[in-house]
Structure 1
Amino acid sequence: MMDSSNPAAHEKFLTAPMLAALVSGGLLLAWPYLAIAEFGPGGSQNGFQWLFSAWNPETDYEHGWLVIPIIAFMLYHARHCIIRAPKRIDWRGLLLFVPACILLMLSFRVGQPRVAMGALPLILLGGAWYLAGPQTARICAFPLLFFWLCIPLPSFQQATVELQIIATQFGHLGGSLFGVDTYLQGTNIRSTEGHWDAFNIAGGCSGMRSLMALIMLSAAWAYLSDLKFWKKCVLFLSAIPLAVIGNGVRIASIVVMAEYGDARFAAKTWHDWSGLLFFFPICLLGLACVHSLLAGEMIWNPFRRKKVVVKMNKAQ
Structure 2
Amino acid sequence: MTSSAANTPQPRNAAPGAAGVGVGALDLSDRAAIAWGALFVVVFVGTFFEFFRYQFVQATTQVQDWGHTLLIPLISGYFVYVQREKLALQRFAPSWAAFLLLFVGLAIYSASAFGPPAIQHHNVRGVGVGFALLGCLLAVFGTASFRWLWFPWAYWWVFGQTISERVMSRVTERLQDWSAIGADILLNTLGVDTDRVGNVLTVHMSDGTTHPLNVAEACSGMRTLMAFLAIGVALAALGLPRWWQRVLLVVAGVPISLFVNVLRVASLGMLSMVDSNFSTGEFHSMVGLVWLIPAFLMFLGVMWVIRNLVDEGQTPPAPRTGVKS
**Into which bin does the TM-score normalised by the smaller protein fall?**
0.7 to 0.9
Cα-Cα RMSD: 3.8
Q: Which is worse superposed, 162-171 or 106-115?
A: 106-115
Please report how far the alpha carbon of residue 177 of structure 1 lies from its aligned counterpart in structure 2 after TM superposition: 1.6
Q: Is the 1:167–1:247 Cα contact (8 Å) retained in structure 2? A: yes
CA pair 3-95 structure 1, distance change in 2 beyond 3 A: farther
Please report how far the alpha carbon of residue 11 of structure 1 lies from its aligned counterpart in structure 2 after TM superposition: 5.9
Residues paired across the two proteins, number? 282
Q: Is the 2:172–2:223 Cα contact (8 Å) retained in structure 1? A: no
Q: 1:225-265 CA deviation, whole Å, 9 max, x = no partner?
A: 24222321221121111011001012122334455xx2447
Q: Is residue 243 from structure 1 mapped to residue 247 from structure 2 by the alignment?
A: no
Q: Is residue 108 from structure 1 mapped to residue 108 from structure 2 by the alignment?
A: no
User: Counterpart of 1:177?
Assistant: 189
Distance between the aligned counterparts of 1:74 and 1:61, measured in 2? 21
Matched to 1:232, the amino acid is R
Q: 1:177-234 CA deviation, whole Å, 9 max, x = no partner?
A: 2122211122221235545422222335142232222122222222222422232122
Distance between the aligned counterparts of 1:152 and 1:86, measured in 2? 35
Distance between the aligned counterparts of 2:67 and 2:46, measured in 1? 26
* Alignment partner of 2:73 out of 68, 71, 90: 68
* Alignment partner of 2:202 out of 175, 183, 190: 190
Distance between the aligned counterparts of 1:50 and 1:274, measured in 2? 26
Q: Is residue 274 from structure 1 mapped to residue 279 from structure 2 by the alignment?
A: no
* Alignment partner of 1:51 out of 26, 50, 55: 55
Q: Is residue 151 from structure 1 mapped to residue 132 from structure 2 by the alignment?
A: no
Distance between the aligned counterparts of 2:260 and 2:28, measured in 1? 49
When normalised by structure 2's length, the TM-score is: 0.72
Q: Is residue 209 from structure 1 mapped to residue 223 from structure 2 by the alignment?
A: yes
Please report how far the alpha carbon of residue 96 of structure 1 lies from its aligned counterpart in structure 2 after TM superposition: 3.3
CA pair 33-295 structure 1, distance change in 2 beyond 3 A: same
CA pair 52-191 structure 1, distance change in 2 beyond 3 A: closer
Q: Is the 1:172–1:182 Cα contact (8 Å) retained in structure 2? A: yes
What SS class does the counterpart of residue 81 from structure 2 fall into? Answer: helix
More helix by share: 1
Matched to 1:128, the amino acid is L
Residue segments in structure 1 that go unaligned for 5+ positions in a row: 35-45, 299-303, 308-316
User: Counterpart of 1:32?
Assistant: 47
Distance between the aligned counterparts of 2:211 and 2:189, measured in 1? 20
User: Counterpart of 2:104?
Assistant: 99
User: Counterpart of 1:291?
Assistant: 303
Distance between the aligned counterparts of 1:22 and 1:263, measured in 2? 52
Distance between the aligned counterparts of 1:48 and 1:101, measured in 2? 15
Matched to 1:240, the amino acid is V
User: Counterpart of 1:314?
Assistant: none
Q: 1:12-62 CA deviation, whole Å, 9 max, x = no partner?
A: 999xxx99998997776455323xxxxxxxxxxx23222222333399323
Distance between the aligned counterparts of 1:198 and 1:237, measured in 2? 33
Q: Which is worse superposed, 241-250 or 85-94?
A: 85-94
* Alignment partner of 1:9 out of 15, 21, 24: 24
Q: Is the 1:171–1:252 Cα contact (8 Å) retained in structure 2? A: yes
Residue segments in structure 2 that go unaligned for 5+ positions in a row: 1-10, 16-22, 314-325
Q: Is the 2:168–2:223 Cα contact (8 Å) retained in structure 1? A: no
When normalised by structure 1's length, the TM-score is: 0.73
User: Counterpart of 1:301?
Assistant: none
Q: Which has the higher contact order (CA 8 A, sep 6+)?
A: 2
Please report how far the alpha carbon of residue 105 of structure 1 lies from its aligned counterpart in structure 2 after TM superposition: 3.0
